[in-house]
Structure 1
C-alpha cells in the first residue's frame, strides 16, 4: 500500500479551462451579491465626470471593435499550465537536492557569491542601482535575486526548497535584502516602492524607463519571475499593486502597449487568490480594446438560453448586457438605438497618493459617449488588492 501511495502522481490539467479557477463556481462566494459582471459599480457624479473628461493627457487611441480588424487569438495552454503549477505549489515536484544546502539563503546573507559571476548580493544592491545597462545586459543575476522552486536559465542557480523558504521568511537580514532587490528592479523599470504594503507608483524617471520596458520585452519574463518569487518568499500581497499599475499603464495610459498580453496572460495569474484575480480582470475588461477580443473571462452567463421571454439579450463576452428593445422596435425589427460601446469612460486610481485621477479614453468619433456611465471601482480600490495568502 505504501508503494502505491508513494508512486501516485497528481493528474495535471490538460486544458486552459482546467488550469484556470478564477471564474469557477467554487470561487464566486466571496463576491458581493450585488456586484455586476460588467465591473461597473456606483455612478459618477457630474463633477467627477467633468474632471475626467477634461483630462486628455493620457488618452489612448481607440481601436475599432470590428471583428474583421483583429486577428483571432487564444490563450496559451503552456502559460496556463505553468502558472497553475506555481499557484498549486508544484504538485508533482521532485526534490532535487538536500534541503540543508540553503544556497539562496546563504547568498542573501552575503556569505556566498552568485555563480558564475562571483558577485555578492551587497555589491549588487549598492553598486548596480541606477546602472541600467548592467541590469539590462547581464542575464545571470535575476535567478539568484528572485529564486523559485523551478529551474531558470542560469543552471548554476539553485531552486528553492520548502525548508529553505521557511528559513528565509524567518531571517530578517535576508528579507531586508530581498525587498532592497525588489526596489532595485522596480527602479530599473521606472517604478518606486511606496510603503511596506507593496503599493507602487511611477518613479521620476518613468518616461524613459517605460519606453525601454515597452521595447525590451524579454523583461516581461523577468517580471513574471519576480512576481512568482514575491509569493514564494512571503510577499504575496505585493503582487496585485504592481499588476494593477501595469494594467493601468498598458490599457488606460497606453504607455506600455506591448505589455498588454503579458500582464493578462502571465502577471495576473501569478496571484494565488481567485478574488484578487477577478478584481484585476474586471478592471482590465472595462478598458481592453477591442472589447470582443478579451480572452480572460468571465465566460458568458446562460440565462434561459441567452434570450429572455421579453427579448433582452444575455451577457456576452464583454459582460455588458444590451438594452431590451421597445415594443415598437420589436414590431419594426429595428435594433435598439442605444450602443453598448458608448460605455467607455474610465476612472483610474492614482496609486501614489490614493486620489482619483482622470484617465479617460474618450473617442471624439464615438457619438453618445457618456463619461458618467462607468466607475472603475474607485472606492476602496487600494485595499481590495492587499489580501495576504499564506504559502
Structure 2
C-alpha cells in the first residue's frame, strides 16, 4: 500500500461490518422506482481492486479470482481484504502522506506526452493511436495499466508512481490530460466489449460484445484492472462514470448471465468503489432483485437489530409485564374486599401491606404504567383519607337470645362502608379494632361521592 498508513491516528477496521457503511443511513425504500428506470438503460460498473498492484493486494487478487469461480450451490462469503481495501479508498486513504516530491508529477507529465511510461518506453499518444483495438497487446501487457489509471497506492509496476494530492489538482486543471484520460477509458471499454455513449457515463454493448464478453468471462485477471479503472475515475474527477459501468456489469453477470464469472467480483469489489452510499444501495437492491438463489445474497443490510432498538423492545416488554402484574394485584384486592374476614384486625393489616407493595411496584414501573394505576391506589398524602374495608360489626352486648340471634345474622352480612379519617395517623387505630372491641368507631354511610369498587 505504499505510504498509506504511516501515521498512528488511524485505527484500521478489523471486520467486514466496520468497513461497510452502506446501510448505516438507509431510509428504507429510497429510490426503488429509480432502480426500475435505470434498469432499462443497461448501465453497470465493475470492480477490480488495486490489489493486483501491491503485495497486500496480491492476497485480494487471489481472493477475487476464487470468488469469481464459486460453485453455484455454495453460499458466498464477504472478503475482509476487499472490504478493507475499498474502505480506505472511499475514505481518501487515512493517514496518507505525500512523501514523493510534489514537483515530480510524473503521471501528469506522462499524460501531457512529455515522458514515456516505464519500463516499456511508450508515450501516451502511441498507446491511444496504435494499441486501441489490439486486444492481444492489451491482454498480455501488464505494465501499462498503472500508468493509464494512476492511484494513490503503489502497484505491481514499481516504475509507476502513486498519485499525490497536488498532482490530482493539477491533472484536473489540464484539459489536454483530461481529454487523453477519457480516450484511455474508451479504449479499455472497447477491450471489454462496451462503448461510452454520453457525458454522464452511460455505457452500452459494443458491436463485438459477444466475443469480448466471452473473453472477459474467462480472463478473470481483468476484473482487477476494472477495479483500478473505477478507483482512478473517482480520483481524477469522474465519479459519475462509475455507477453506470457497475450497473452494466451487474446486469450482464446476474440478469443476462453473459459474464457469470464476474458476479462475485462485481458485488464484492466494483459496487464498493462508489463513494456515495445511496448509489451503492441502489445497485445492491437491483442485484438482490435478480440474484439466484436469493437466500445467498449477503450484501444487503444486517438483519441484527440495532442496540437502541433492542433496548426499546426490552423496555416496552417490561412495562407491559408490570402493567399486567399491577392489574392482577388490583383484581385480587377487589375480590378480597368482598369477602367476610375471619379476623378484622389481620384483614386490615394485610390490606395495608398490599397498598405499600402496590405503591413500591408503581414507582419501579415508570411513568406510563404508574399513571394508569396511580388514581386507584390509596394516597397517604391527602388530609382526609377514604378507605374501603369490610363493615365493622357492632360489639355484642348481653341481650336476649332473640336479639343476639338477630345481631349474629346481621354480622354475617357483607357490606362496604367508608371510614373517614381526620388524619393519616387515625388509620393506624383500625389495626386494633376487632369484633370484640368495646369501643365503637365513628362510621358514616357512603354519601355517593366515593369511588365505586
- The alignment status of 1:241 with 2:244, answered yes or no, reads yes
Q: 1:22/1:34 Cα in 2 relative to 1: closer, same or farther (>3 Å)?
A: closer
Larger radius of gyration: 2
Classify the secondary structure of the residue corresponding to 1:154.
coil
Say if 2:98 and 2:165, in contact at 8 Å, map to a contact too.
no
Say if 2:146 and 2:155, in contact at 8 Å, map to a contact too.
yes
Question: What is the CA–CA distance in structure 2 between the aligned matches of 1:152 and 1:115, rounded to whole Å?
Answer: 13
Instruction: Please report how far the alpha carbon of residue 40 of structure 1 lies from its aligned counterpart in structure 2 after TM superposition.
Output: 7.4
Residue aligning to 1:148: 151
Classify the secondary structure of the residue corresponding to 2:103.
coil
Classify the secondary structure of the residue corresponding to 1:89.
coil
Bigger RCO (CA 8 Å, 6+ sep): 1
Residue aligning to 1:12: 12
Question: Which of 202, 205, 209 is 1:206 aligned to?
Answer: 209
Question: What is the CA–CA distance in structure 1 between the aligned matches of 2:240 and 2:35, rounded to whole Å?
Answer: 26
Q: 1:69/1:94 Cα in 2 relative to 1: closer, same or farther (>3 Å)?
A: closer
- The alignment status of 1:219 with 2:222, answered yes or no, reads yes
Classify the secondary structure of the residue corresponding to 1:201.
strand
Say if 2:35 and 2:286, in contact at 8 Å, map to a contact too.
no
Q: 1:184/1:159 Cα in 2 relative to 1: closer, same or farther (>3 Å)?
A: same
Residue aligning to 2:131: 128
Classify the secondary structure of the residue corresponding to 2:284.
helix
Larger mean Cα displacement after TM superposition, 172-181 or 6-15: 6-15
Q: 1:97/1:270 Cα in 2 relative to 1: closer, same or farther (>3 Å)?
A: same
Q: Map Cα deviations across residues 149-183 of structure 1 (whole Å, 9 max, x no partner).
A: 00111110000000000000110000000000000
Question: What is the CA–CA distance in structure 2 between the aligned matches of 1:42 and 1:143, rounded to whole Å?
Answer: 33
Residue aligning to 1:138: 141
Say if 2:35 and 2:282, in contact at 8 Å, map to a contact too.
no
Instruction: Please report how far the alpha carbon of residue 124 of structure 1 lies from its aligned counterpart in structure 2 after TM superposition.
Output: 0.3
- The alignment status of 1:277 with 2:294, answered yes or no, reads no
Question: What is the CA–CA distance in structure 2 between the aligned matches of 1:88 and 1:216, rounded to whole Å?
Answer: 30
Classify the secondary structure of the residue corresponding to 2:176.
helix
- The alignment status of 1:107 with 2:126, answered yes or no, reads no
Question: What is the CA–CA distance in structure 2 between the aligned matches of 1:278 and 1:43, rounded to whole Å?
Answer: 14
Classify the secondary structure of the residue corresponding to 2:125.
helix
Say if 2:148 and 2:181, in contact at 8 Å, map to a contact too.
yes
Q: Map Cα deviations across residues 238-258 of structure 1 (whole Å, 9 max, x no partner).
A: 000000000000011000000
Residue aligning to 1:23: 23
Question: What is the CA–CA distance in structure 2 between the aligned matches of 1:278 and 1:163, rounded to whole Å?
Answer: 32
User: Which is helix-richer, 1 or 2?
Assistant: 2
Say if 2:7 and 2:95, in contact at 8 Å, map to a contact too.
no
Classify the secondary structure of the residue corresponding to 1:13.
coil
- The alignment status of 1:83 with 2:86, answered yes or no, reads yes
Instruction: Please report how far the alpha carbon of residue 34 of structure 1 lies from its aligned counterpart in structure 2 after TM superposition.
Output: 5.5
TM-score (norm 1): 0.66
Q: 1:7/1:34 Cα in 2 relative to 1: closer, same or farther (>3 Å)?
A: closer
Question: Which of 92, 96, 99 is 2:95 aligned to?
Answer: 92
Residue aligning to 1:175: 178
Q: For residues 1-391 of structure 1, what are the structure 2 equivalents within 5 Å?
A: 8-24=8-24, 27-28=25-26, 31=27, 35=30, 70-300=73-303, 302=305
Which segments of structure 1 move beyond 6 Å, counting only runs of 4 or more?
Answer: 40-44
Aligned residues: 271
Instruction: Please report how far the alpha carbon of residue 104 of structure 1 lies from its aligned counterpart in structure 2 after TM superposition.
Output: 0.2
Q: Map Cα deviations across residues 244-279 of structure 1 (whole Å, 9 max, x no partner).
A: 000000011000000000000000000000000000
Residue aligning to 2:320: none
Q: 1:42/1:132 Cα in 2 relative to 1: closer, same or farther (>3 Å)?
A: closer
Instruction: Please report how far the alpha carbon of residue 96 of structure 1 lies from its aligned counterpart in structure 2 after TM superposition.
Output: 3.0
Classify the secondary structure of the residue corresponding to 2:243.
helix
Please list every run of 5 or more consecutive structure 2 residues that lacks an aligned counterpart in the other structure. Answer: 1-5, 38-70, 314-453
**RMSD of aligned residue pairs (Cα, Å):** 2.5
Q: Map Cα deviations across residues 201-255 of structure 1 (whole Å, 9 max, x no partner).
A: 0000100000000000000000000000000000000000000000000011000
Q: 1:96/1:187 Cα in 2 relative to 1: closer, same or farther (>3 Å)?
A: same
Please list every run of 5 or more consecutive structure 1 residues that lacks an aligned counterpart in the other structure. Answer: 1-5, 45-67, 309-391
Q: 1:295/1:43 Cα in 2 relative to 1: closer, same or farther (>3 Å)?
A: closer
Instruction: Please report how far the alpha carbon of residue 43 of structure 1 lies from its aligned counterpart in structure 2 after TM superposition.
Output: 10
Q: 1:73/1:252 Cα in 2 relative to 1: closer, same or farther (>3 Å)?
A: closer
Question: What is the CA–CA distance in structure 1 between the aligned matches of 2:104 and 2:72, rounded to whole Å?
Answer: 55
Question: What is the CA–CA distance in structure 2 between the aligned matches of 1:287 and 1:34, rounded to whole Å?
Answer: 17
Question: What is the CA–CA distance in structure 2 between the aligned matches of 1:72 and 1:187, rounded to whole Å?
Answer: 33
